[in-house]
Amino acid sequence: MVYDKNVQLPGCAWTDEHSRQGFARRESVANFRALIDFGHADVQVSLDAYEPRLEYERVIAVPFKVTSGEVIVEGPEETEPGRAFALTPGDYRLVAAQYATGDEEEAVDLFLSPATEPPQRSAILVADKALSPPSPLIEAAGIAGEQ
């Protein structure tokens, strides 16, 4: 999960369509589906534009709004508080690039680059065989646990 510090409930309510496209998002929240079901992910954050690499198996870009000046990154089953970093409030393009590094390990490279205009649409830049996204992509999700 990647979310602005102002967001109280960062979990998204996933539908089958969200799972098929590999992400669920709201304005200041992005939840990405992992390449592996169980295991460990090494996450790196870059405050630069996405640069394609051959090893990336899944790459998803989403609009992302920072309001608080602080962004938090955490996994869905982590017991420790998420990692936070400062980022100037504004509109960004958030890209999650993933690749497997072992049977139960993957790497996730997150790229946050300022948008000259607020991005309106998400995009799947590299699709692995587990994705079968709807068209158009689902651009909104509910809050996990809310009816």
For the chain, list the strands marked E by DSSP: 2-4, 12-13, 23-26, 29-32, 40-46, 58-66, 70-73, 83-86, 90-102, 105-114, 123-126, 142-143
Report angle CA 29, 32, 33 to the nearest 5 degrees: 150
> Based on the structure, what is the number of domains in the chain?
1
Structure tokens at 93: 């393009």
98: CATH: 2.60.34.30
Which residue has better confidence, 12 or 39? 12
Find all residues with CB under 8 Å of 138, minimum gap 6, and list them.
15, 17, 18, 21, 24
CA distance 122 to 128: 17
pLDDT for the residue numbered 118: 75
Predicted local distance difference test score (pLDDT) of residue 3: 96
- The stretch 78-85 carries a mean pLDDT of 76
Give the domain range for residue 92. 2-143
CB 135 within 8 A of CB 124: no
Which tokens is 68 given? Answer: 């608080």
Does residue 13 register a pLDDT over 90? Answer: yes
Query: What local confidence, expressed as pLDDT, does residue 119 receive?
Result: 75
Q: Give the pLDDT mean for 21-34.
A: 96
Can you tell me the distance from the alpha carbon of 91 to that of 11, in angstroms, rounded to the nearest whole number? 20
Overall pTM > 0.75: yes
More confident residue, 119 or 74: 74
